[in-house]
Structure 1
Amino acid sequence: MLTGPNMDKPILSVEHLSMKFGGLVAIGDLSFQARRGEITALIGPNGAGKTTVFNCITGFYKPSEGMIKMNGRGGQEFLLERMPDFRITAHAKVARTFQNIRLFSGMTLLENLLVAQHNKLMHASGFTVLGLLGIGGYRKASAESIDLAKHWLEKIDLIHRADDPAGDLPYGAQRRLEIARAMCTDPELLCLDEPAAGLNPKESLHLNQLLNDIKENTGTSILLIEHDMSVVMKISDHVVVLEYGRKISDGSPDLVKHDPRVIAAYLGVDDEEVVDVLTAVGDEQVIEELDAEPDPEHGPSASSSMMAGPISDTIAHADEDEIVKVSPGASKALEYDEVQALSTRTAKPAAKPAAGKARAKPAGKPKGGRK
């Protein structure tokens, strides 16, 4: 069992995170925690902002607001929003995979896993030609790197194909190889962006086994984006649900699975109920009105939209305030809240007592009379 000053603290704390692209709020005031030694799933409909959260955690985007704190095993605390992406990987020990497979298809499986260890190998070479000559500490570091690569190839049941090009692997095997490559960086937090996408049921089962093995035997905590609920509900310890960049539920898989706001967000609200909502879900409840300039260094251009769903108006190219409007009914979770509020307001008053049980009203004396 791992021990250290930060073992009792969450490995990741996201506090009031916001990511704005010009007038578009992709993430709005998001707070959640990922506990050490657990699998935390980040789920939600398409366009909910899940990958944007990953991009903020791993340094691809710099958040507009908020704090992302990583607690290392040795007692270090890293503020990820202030660190460049390569330091987040090298020092904070955060690794990730992507929605689209990004292997070096022309390299062998073994070479792909050695590339992931280039920081260690470069350090052992002294950043000189010692690595080419194989002298100093480089030879030992090289042997250790090969052993680690073989270890993970055995874990993903691909050691027999170590010398094959990665591009020759079936799709599901390439997914496992990507996870093995990330694990070769010895991460404390592994961020997986839809690892089960495109997998058949047998491959999904193998993925579940691999992720549980990583959680139980390596001490690495996992933050997972996934649409396959058979994966999420079986292996997750904690689930956070987003809709339009806002958190709508946070808790155990069983709690989230039965949360009516989550069901509304995924499946929608009945039209008959929506018609009864007196106050439609408006801009202020879904997207904040902003007075902000696009950040040219991070994220898409000002004309891009990161949100899926019924958009009635997009960012205007003008000197006025830039506002993104979401048509009424875009947020199903908020529609559900409106329906519940309406039901409460229009509930019938409690029935009066039956006539036979009513107490007889005592006869009163004339007003002003003596007792």
Structure 2
Amino acid sequence: MAQLSADADAFGPMLTIEQAAERAAGHIVAVAGIETIPLSEADGRVLAQDVIAPVDLPPFANSAVDGYAVRFADLAATGETRLPLSGRVAAGVDAAGVTTTGMAVRVFTGAPMPAGAETVFMQEDVVAEGGAVVLPAGLKRGANARPAGEDIGRGSLALAAGRGLRPQDLALLAALGLTKVVVRRRVRVAIFSTGDELNEPGTALPPAGIYDANRSLLRAMVARVGAEVVDLGILRDEPESLAARLLQAAENCDLILTSGGVSTGEEDHVKAAVERAGELAFWRVAIKPGRPVAMGLVSGTPFIGLPGNPVAVFVTFAFVARTVIALLSGTTPVRLHGLPVRLGFPYKKKAGRREYVRVTLVPGANGIAVAQKHPRDGAGVLTSLTETDGLVELADDLTSVTEGTIAPFLAYEMLTG
């Protein structure tokens, strides 16, 4: 696979990550089509409609603790209060008919509040004496009780359309009694590799042959952001055949994604094929590893050409392609916020570009982890990804940092989910 050109003038002005994402957003329209699916299959899917709460949550007033439910009006104005016990209510037991006037009721966490009672004393604060309890002074009205609708009221907006559903969202929907949800259909992403030197893993390598690693990387990253992968395999370096396959992919997919093969070099046949089937623009994104990214349209379908080296593919997917897939999905791209770590190494860089350094975290003083740089930082060194925990982000305007500098850390899990 030919490498993307390093010629600074070939790709126009340098764009920040934010500018590249903004330009991409200007060409993206969310996919059409919705479907109703079981809640059990909805993790990671994007809501197509607002969800309005059909019931109160919780549906009835209940105790937040194990203890004793009383009417606040029955408590002495000062000092302790002694009340006889009226009964016992556990979670799942109907409290209808339980007397509360002038009485205390033994309740357990989640139990319905008996009619008239609105305050609960924690059992450890109460002294039981035969068939009565002694309640301490100082508790506020409504303490340790959860009113109906405290979490969310019936008719309120539970979740808004465009939300990417997470496990906690599914829990809320289940708590509201819902079993199905209306979501946008999955974005279909075509991926392929090109290069006569590429071979499928598991096959015998010919002289000068290499195994195709980038497609496995892209396949997994696309799936992790909730899109459907359409794997076109390895396409040979023949412009007419490539153009035909691109047009075919454009008819059936929402995004075409590849790596390498789109620079200005003579052997970069994907560039010629895309230009034959549509239009192509080159961007130099001010990040390292990464930089050259191609964005275009093939018969109206967005095309993204990432750099050829696997580490650069990983980084540019995380910060560019991931944003495009989110927009196609009809959701707002997640804004990543790094956690502060202390650098365990000095580093020099060029001003005007953001750099992402592969690091491993080790315990540090004052609760701040120390980031240790991987010894090999080439964009083609896959072990620099497998042997590290994430990326340290060094801002565009920096030219050097010293050991001990605080910098934001992005765990790989943040970039691939």
TM-score for both structures, normalised by structure 2: 0.23
Higher strand share: 2
Of Structure 1 and Structure 2, which has the larger fraction of its residues in helix? 1
Bigger relative CO (Cα 8 Å, ≥ 6 apart)? 1
Whose Rg is larger? Answer: 2
TM-score for the superposition, normalised by structure 1:
0.25
